[in-house]
Amino acid sequence: FHLPCGECTITLEDIQLQLELPVDESVLTGSIQSVDWRAICYDILGAIPDNIYGGRIEMGWLRDTFPESGNDSTEVERIRYARAYILEILRGYLMSDMSRNLVHLRWLLKLVDFRADGELSWRSVVFSTLYQEMC
Protein backbone atom coordinates (compact mmCIF):
# COMPACT_ATOMS: atom_id res chain seq x y z
CA PHE A 1 0.00 0.00 0.00
CA HIS A 2 2.82 2.42 -0.82
CA LEU A 3 1.83 5.66 -2.47
CA PRO A 4 3.72 7.10 -5.47
CA CYS A 5 5.17 9.97 -3.42
CA GLY A 6 6.98 7.57 -1.08
CA GLU A 7 4.42 7.73 1.72
CA CYS A 8 2.32 4.83 2.90
CA THR A 9 -1.19 4.59 4.23
CA ILE A 10 -3.33 2.06 6.02
CA THR A 11 -6.63 1.15 4.41
CA LEU A 12 -9.83 0.09 6.13
CA GLU A 13 -9.32 -3.36 4.67
CA ASP A 14 -5.94 -3.52 6.45
CA ILE A 15 -7.64 -2.64 9.74
CA GLN A 16 -10.33 -5.23 9.15
CA LEU A 17 -7.83 -7.97 8.35
CA GLN A 18 -5.39 -7.16 11.17
CA LEU A 19 -8.00 -6.72 13.91
CA GLU A 20 -10.63 -9.09 12.50
CA LEU A 21 -13.36 -6.45 12.75
CA PRO A 22 -16.64 -7.23 11.03
CA VAL A 23 -17.28 -4.86 8.15
CA ASP A 24 -20.42 -6.16 6.47
CA GLU A 25 -22.87 -6.27 9.38
CA SER A 26 -25.35 -3.87 10.98
CA VAL A 27 -24.42 -0.21 10.80
CA LEU A 28 -22.94 1.21 13.98
CA THR A 29 -23.74 4.78 14.90
CA GLY A 30 -22.36 6.98 17.60
CA SER A 31 -25.52 8.96 18.18
CA ILE A 32 -26.81 9.13 21.73
CA GLN A 33 -29.43 10.80 23.82
CA SER A 34 -28.62 12.85 26.91
CA VAL A 35 -27.46 10.38 29.56
CA ASP A 36 -25.92 10.35 33.02
CA TRP A 37 -22.35 9.36 32.12
CA ARG A 38 -21.35 8.79 35.75
CA ALA A 39 -24.11 6.21 36.13
CA ILE A 40 -23.19 4.58 32.81
CA CYS A 41 -19.53 4.30 33.87
CA TYR A 42 -20.49 2.78 37.19
CA ASP A 43 -22.91 0.29 35.64
CA ILE A 44 -20.62 -0.87 32.83
CA LEU A 45 -17.10 -0.34 34.20
CA GLY A 46 -17.77 -0.47 37.94
CA ALA A 47 -15.88 2.80 38.50
CA ILE A 48 -16.58 6.50 38.09
CA PRO A 49 -13.92 8.83 36.67
CA ASP A 50 -13.14 12.06 38.52
CA ASN A 51 -13.58 14.16 35.40
CA ILE A 52 -15.98 13.70 32.50
CA TYR A 53 -15.61 16.29 29.76
CA GLY A 54 -18.84 16.37 27.73
CA GLY A 55 -19.15 12.59 27.73
CA ARG A 56 -15.39 12.03 27.30
CA ILE A 57 -12.94 10.56 29.78
CA GLU A 58 -9.16 10.58 29.88
CA MET A 59 -7.31 7.60 28.45
CA GLY A 60 -4.89 7.78 31.41
CA TRP A 61 -7.77 7.17 33.80
CA LEU A 62 -8.66 3.99 31.92
CA ARG A 63 -5.06 2.72 32.10
CA ASP A 64 -4.71 3.59 35.79
CA THR A 65 -8.09 2.21 36.85
CA PHE A 66 -7.93 -1.00 34.82
CA PRO A 67 -4.44 -2.44 35.00
CA GLU A 68 -3.90 -5.78 33.31
CA SER A 69 -6.11 -8.37 34.97
CA GLY A 70 -4.35 -11.20 36.75
CA ASN A 71 -5.09 -14.89 37.08
CA ASP A 72 -6.92 -14.31 40.37
CA SER A 73 -9.40 -11.79 38.92
CA THR A 74 -13.09 -12.56 38.77
CA GLU A 75 -15.05 -12.88 35.55
CA VAL A 76 -16.68 -9.49 36.18
CA GLU A 77 -13.25 -7.86 36.59
CA ARG A 78 -12.01 -9.46 33.35
CA ILE A 79 -15.08 -8.20 31.47
CA ARG A 80 -14.57 -4.67 32.83
CA TYR A 81 -10.89 -4.81 31.88
CA ALA A 82 -11.83 -5.98 28.38
CA ARG A 83 -14.26 -3.08 27.96
CA ALA A 84 -11.64 -0.56 29.10
CA TYR A 85 -9.04 -2.13 26.79
CA ILE A 86 -11.41 -2.01 23.81
CA LEU A 87 -12.07 1.69 24.53
CA GLU A 88 -8.31 2.27 24.49
CA ILE A 89 -7.98 0.47 21.15
CA LEU A 90 -10.90 2.40 19.66
CA ARG A 91 -9.59 5.81 20.60
CA GLY A 92 -5.87 5.16 20.59
CA TYR A 93 -5.61 3.31 17.27
CA LEU A 94 -8.80 3.10 15.26
CA MET A 95 -10.31 6.52 15.87
CA SER A 96 -7.43 8.62 17.14
CA ASP A 97 -7.20 12.38 16.98
CA MET A 98 -4.31 14.74 17.53
CA SER A 99 -4.52 14.61 21.33
CA ARG A 100 -5.22 10.87 21.69
CA ASN A 101 -6.08 11.75 25.28
CA LEU A 102 -9.89 11.54 25.50
CA VAL A 103 -12.35 8.81 24.55
CA HIS A 104 -16.09 9.34 24.26
CA LEU A 105 -18.23 7.13 26.46
CA ARG A 106 -20.81 6.61 23.69
CA TRP A 107 -18.64 3.69 22.54
CA LEU A 108 -18.91 2.17 25.99
CA LEU A 109 -22.65 1.79 25.39
CA LYS A 110 -21.81 -0.50 22.46
CA LEU A 111 -19.70 -2.76 24.71
CA VAL A 112 -22.45 -3.92 27.04
CA ASP A 113 -23.00 -7.23 25.23
CA PHE A 114 -19.93 -8.62 23.48
CA ARG A 115 -22.04 -11.04 21.44
CA ALA A 116 -24.03 -8.17 19.95
CA ASP A 117 -20.80 -6.32 19.11
CA GLY A 118 -19.89 -9.10 16.70
CA GLU A 119 -22.95 -8.23 14.65
CA LEU A 120 -21.98 -4.56 14.25
CA SER A 121 -19.89 -3.08 11.46
CA TRP A 122 -17.25 -0.75 12.85
CA ARG A 123 -16.05 0.18 9.33
CA SER A 124 -18.31 3.20 8.89
CA VAL A 125 -17.32 4.66 12.26
CA VAL A 126 -13.60 4.22 11.65
CA PHE A 127 -13.91 5.60 8.13
CA SER A 128 -15.95 8.65 9.15
CA THR A 129 -13.57 9.42 12.02
CA LEU A 130 -10.57 9.10 9.73
CA TYR A 131 -12.22 11.37 7.19
CA GLN A 132 -13.18 13.93 9.85
CA GLU A 133 -9.62 14.05 11.22
CA MET A 134 -8.11 14.40 7.74
CA CYS A 135 -10.33 17.42 7.04
* Residue 17 belongs to some domain of the structure: no
Question: For residue 121, what are the domain limits?
Answer: 35-134
Taking residues 49-70, report their average pLDDT. 87
Q: What is the DSSP string of 88-120?
A: HHIIIIIS--SS--EEEGGGGGGGS-HHHHTTE
At 1 the pLDDT is 47
At 49 the pLDDT is 93
At 61 the pLDDT is 92
How many domains are contained in the chain? Answer: 1
* Residue 88 belongs to some domain of the structure: yes
Spatial separation of the C-alpha atoms in residues 90 and 30, rounded to whole Å: 13
- As a whole-number percent, the residues of the chain with pLDDT over 70 amount to 56
pLDDT for 7-49, tens place per residue? 666 666 676 677 665 556 555 555 566 688 999 999 999 999 9
* Residue 70 belongs to some domain of the structure: yes
Spatial separation of the C-alpha atoms in residues 111 and 130, rounded to whole Å: 21
* Residue 101 belongs to some domain of the structure: yes
